[in-house]
Structure 1
Amino acid sequence: MRPLPELPSATNDYLIDHIRLLSDSLAHWSGCGLMDDETNPIIAARRLYYAPFALLSHGSEEDPIINYANHTAQQLFEMGWDEFVCLPSRFSAEAMVQEERNALLKRVTDNGYIDDYSGVRIAKSGSRFQIEDATVWNLLDRSGNYRGQAAMFAIWQRL
Structure 2
Amino acid sequence: MKSLALDPEFAALLAGSHLRLVGTPLFDQPIPATDAARWLYEDAPFVLLAHNGEADPRFVYANRTAQRCFEYDWDEFVTLHSRLSAKDPNREERARLLDDVRTQGYSTGYRGLRVARSGRRFFIEKAVVWNLVDHAGVYHGQAARFADWTDV
Give the shorter-chain TM-score range: over 0.9
1:47 has 2:39 as partner: yes
1:18 to 10, 14, 33: 10
1:6 has 2:3 as partner: yes
| Matched residue SS, 2:38 | helix
Q: Would the alpha carbon gap of residues 39 and 132 (structure 1) be closer, same or farther in structure 2, given more than 3 Å must change?
A: closer
Distance 1:63 1:54 in 2: 21
**Which consecutive segments of 4 or more residues in structure 1 shift more than 4 A?**
none
Contact 1:57–1:150 (8 Å) recurs in 2: yes
- 1:110-145 alpha-carbon deviations (Å, 9 max, x no partner): 110111100110001111011111000011012101
| Matched residue SS, 2:44 | coil
Which ranges of structure 1 fall in alignment gaps of 5 or more residues? 9-13
2:100 to 100, 107, 130: 107
Q: CA RMSD in A?
A: 1.7
Deviation at 1:42, TM superposition (A): 3.0
Q: Would the alpha carbon gap of residues 7 and 29 (structure 1) be closer, same or farther in structure 2, given more than 3 Å must change?
A: closer
The residue that corresponds to 2:78 in the other structure is 85
- 1:56-108 alpha-carbon deviations (Å, 9 max, x no partner): 00001111110000000001100000000111100110111111010110111
- 1:23-57 alpha-carbon deviations (Å, 9 max, x no partner): 11111112223259x64223122221121110000
2:89 to 89, 96, 103: 96
1:150 has 2:143 as partner: yes
TM-score, normalised to structure 1's length?
A: 0.89
Contact 1:121–1:130 (8 Å) recurs in 2: yes
Number of corresponding residues: 151
Q: Percent identity?
A: 48
Deviation at 1:7, TM superposition (A): 6.5
TM-score, normalised to structure 2's length?
A: 0.93
What amino acid is aligned across from residue 157 of structure 1 in structure 2? Answer: T
Which ranges of structure 2 fall in alignment gaps of 5 or more residues? none
Distance 2:67 2:46 in 1: 11
The residue that corresponds to 1:29 in the other structure is 21
Q: Would the alpha carbon gap of residues 7 and 19 (structure 1) be closer, same or farther in structure 2, given more than 3 Å must change?
A: closer
| Matched residue SS, 1:101 | helix
Contact 2:59–2:78 (8 Å) recurs in 1: yes
Distance 2:50 2:4 in 1: 14
